[in-house]
Amino acid sequence: MVLPTVILPGYLAGAEEYLGLQTHLEQRGVPTLTVPLRKWDWVPTIGGRSMIPILRPLHETVQRALQEFGCDRINLICHSAGGWVARIYLGEKPYQIHQDKLGETGLWDRRAQVATLVTLGTPHTSRERWTLRNLNFVNDHYPGAFYPEIRYVCVAGKAVFGARRPGQWLAYSSYEITCGQGACWGDGITPIVSAHLEGAENVTLEGVRHAPRPGFVWYGSPDIVKLWIPYLA
């Protein structure tokens, strides 16, 4: 039996955007909960501030899944920035780099409760100045597929080549600010090189876009989910 799974939405995304993915996983026999975020729950984190407002509901949802499904571990599926937020949650170092959140405890060092971490289009590296403080904490303390007891699966999309021309400008700009090079392949937002982690099981999927949009294939599209669902514990 596949372990229960928790979905962590991406930056500025609410849980409703992942209901289709949750339903598809459940139809394939994977008990699934989505962290009940609303878009405005991300607002306190804007500008490189603390991710505690996201870690708290993530932890509550993981504990609910453990209790509801009667297990001691779950799988974590994380989209976009949710992937590196989850790496904070797994790690043992106190996440106390923001002075206004020094009293928070218990929202990290949770790797014993996670079997597999699947990241979908996660920018595990970035040069954007507002993200550096948080991402440097993650990558300095937990570089690559850091914990051998956890299965890291990093899924990247190869759909848009960044270029300075109509239809590719956004990708070029996003890739450049993420990995330092705009002229490369990615999912339209995250370049492949940033979506992969050293030591992880790195997967690249052709034609996959970053987020759910009408008319586009994304990581949660049924035909794409079947390509990465076998990695779940």
pLDDT tens per residue, range 111-163: 999 999 999 999 999 999 989 999 999 999 999 999 999 999 999 999 999 99
3-state secondary structure of 179: helix
Instruction: Report helix, strand or coil for 75.
Output: strand
Q: What is the tens place of the pLDDT at every residue in 169-203?
A: 999 999 999 999 999 999 999 999 999 999 999 99
| Cβ partners under 8 Å of residue 130, min gap 6 | 46, 47, 48
CA distances (Å), origin 63, targets 2, 9, 77, 190: 17, 17, 15, 30
- Mean pLDDT of all residues in 93-111: 87
Block residue for tokens 């993420």: 178
pTM of the shown model: 0.96
Averaged confidence pLDDT in the chain = 96
User: Which of 31, 88, 30 is CA-nearest to residue 58?
Assistant: 88
Query: Reduced to 3 states, what is the DSSP secondary structure of residue 60?
Result: helix
195-226 confidence digits (pLDDT tens): 999 999 999 999 999 999 888 999 999 999 99
The amino acid at residue 200 is: A
Q: What is the mean pLDDT of residues 37-45?
A: 97
